[in-house]
Amino acid sequence: MSKYLVTGGAGYVGSVVAAHLLEAGHQVTVLDDLSTGFREGVPAGAEFVEGRIQETGSVLDGSFDGVLHFAASSQVGESVTDPEKYWRNNVAGSLELVSAMRAAGVRKLVFSSTAATYGEPEAVPIAETARTAPTNTYGATKLAVDHLITSEAVAHGLAAVSLRYFNVAGAYGAYGERHDPESHLIPLVFQAALGQRPHIAVYGDDYPTPDGTCIRDYIHVADLAEAHLLALDAAKPGEHLICNLGNGSGFSVREVIESVKRVTGREIPVQVAGRRAGDPAVLVASAARAHEALGWTPRRPSLDDIVADAWKFTLEKNGR
Ligand SMILES: NC(=O)c1ccc[n+]([C@@H]2O[C@H](COP(=O)([O-])OP(=O)(O)OC[C@H]3O[C@@H](n4cnc5c(N)ncnc54)[C@H](O)[C@@H]3O)[C@@H](O)[C@H]2O)c1
């Protein structure tokens, strides 16, 4: 049994990982300022501290075995219009966290990085050796934190793993996606299915893909959680391992809409709009390194399974 601090554990991914840690018999403390998370998202059995990562020093002591760091601002559009918020929260906040870890002698870190660190890919599937050229401030701040972690591992022996998620989806029992504003495709299609938005917009159907719509790599949040537990075991002092996490095969926007139709049995009004600037045709991860270095294989790769779990959570959340 180990003791972990989970920053952002009231949010979507952090709550699912916290639940997995507890199920594995670990002790969990969640540190979250509830800026985008929910108190009820913190799994029963976890200690909850309402506070900011900027104040990690007041929570962390030598009794902790490691930190899983999910807390961040993560709206791509907002990061472009309010960049200072992103540098302050994501980079300055992570710097405070890393300093507090060193002061407390806590030497293991798993960090939520992102596919957005790569920007427009030169080749797909995207490997960790690909050029990193983020096209928005969100991706740039996450890449900066990855660099911070690398230097901390080299200088001070931190054992660290950055997991670069592609599109996280699905739900794990009572823990699911509740972003506001929502920007992720599957919950947006659900909103159209529930009549909460008039239609789902498809941004471009003339991409060089089989059905003309963009292809993205969707990974079940429970598969993602399992990778975090494996990362805690794989982390080695003085090393910063960076691994992509994706299904390795993408699904197009139209395939996602068709899947939601199959799973929900509802009609989905669709409106085709023009392409959005900076939307690459295909973003798919190579998960080969995660397989080799962590021994990780996604166990729930079916799109219909991912959508079905997310739909169940959404119906419960909507009280239907
Ligand atoms: N959801 C995805 O598809 C996806 C993809 C790639 C990377 N990520 C990364 O994974 C992590 C989790 O994403 P999510 O979708 O669960 O987001 P989320 O917004 O649901 O969760 C983030 C949590 O962090 C908390 N938080 C934010 N700033 C904080 C601060 N300064 N101090 C304390 N708590 C703070 C929020 O209240 C929230 O509970 C983020 O770092 C995100 O960048 C997510």
Mutate to test the pocket of ligand 1, among 5, 6, 17, 70 (most ligand atoms within 8 A of CB): 70
- pTM higher than 0.85, yes or no? yes
Q: What is the DSSP letter of 209?
A: S
> How large is the C-alpha radius of gyration of the chain?
19
Cβ-in-10-Å burial (0-12, 13-18, 19+) of 39 comes to exposed
**Counting atoms of ligand 1 from 1, which one is nearest the CA of 142?**
43
Over 80: is that where the pLDDT of 257 sits?
A: yes
Closest to 113 measured CA to CA, from 79, 76, 141: 141
The per-residue pLDDT for 320 is 62
Pocket test for ligand 1, best of 6, 12, 97 (most atoms within 8 A of CB): 12
Tokens of residue 124, six digits: 């797909």
Angstrom CA distances, 139 to 98, 112, 114, 164, stand at: 19, 12, 7, 11
* Mutation to probe ligand 1, out of 6, 36, 217 (largest number of atoms < 8 A from CB): 36
pLDDT given for residue 249 in this prediction:
85
Give percent of the chain with pLDDT exceeding 90: 94
Does ligand 1 lie within 6 Å of residue 52's CB atom?
yes
CA triple 148-168-287, angle to 5 deg: 70
Q: Determine the pLDDT at residue 263.
A: 97
Measure 50 CA to ligand 1 centroid, in angstroms. Answer: 15
Q: What is the pLDDT of residue 284?
A: 97
Could you tell me if the CB of 101 is within 6 A of ligand 1?
A: no
Q: Could you tell me the distance, in angstroms and rounded to a whole number, from the CA of residue 112 to the centre of ligand 1?
A: 8
Decide whether any atom of ligand 1 lies within 6 Å of the 243 Cβ: no
| Each residue's pLDDT tens digit, 64-117 | 999 999 999 999 999 999 999 999 999 999 999 999 999 999 999 999 999 999
- Which of 297, 204, 319, 289 lies closest to 253, judged by CA? 204
Q: In whole angstroms, what is the distance from residue 238 CA to residue 152 CA?
A: 8
DSSP state of 195: T
Output the CA 118–ligand 1 centroid distance in Å: 19
Tens of pLDDT, residue by residue over 150-172, are 999 999 999 999 999 999 999 99
Choose the catalytic residue: 12, 138, 165, 172. Answer: 138
Residue nearest ligand 1's atom 23 by CA? 8
Average of per-residue pLDDT across 218-236: 98
For residues 240 and 154, give the distance between their C-alpha atoms in angstroms, rounded to a whole number: 8
List all residues 6 or more positions away from 180 whose beta carbon is below 8 Å from its beta carbon: 36
Report whether residue 134 contacts ligand 1, using a CB cutoff of 6 Å.
Answer: no
298, amino acid identity: P
The dihedral region occupied by 257, where left means phi > 0, alpha psi between -120 and 50, and beta the remainder, is alpha
Mean pLDDT across 258-267:
96
Tell me how far the alpha carbon of residue 301 lies from the centroid of ligand 1, in angstroms.
23
Is the peptide bond between 134 and the residue preceding it cis, with omega within 30 degrees of 0?
A: no
Amino acid, single-letter form, for residue 233: D
pLDDT tens profile 171-225? 999 999 988 888 899 999 999 999 999 999 999 999 999 999 999 999 999 999 9
pLDDT recorded at residue 35:
97
- Measured CA to CA, the distance from residue 244 to residue 300 in angstroms comes to 17
The verdict on whether 138 is a catalytic residue reads yes
Pocket lining: 13 vs ligand 1, CB cutoff 6 Å: yes
- Residue 278 — pLDDT band, cuts 50, 70, 90? confident
Q: Which residues contact 207 (CB under 8 A, 6 or more apart)?
A: 213, 214, 275, 281
Q: Cβ distance 294 to 243 under 8 Å?
A: yes
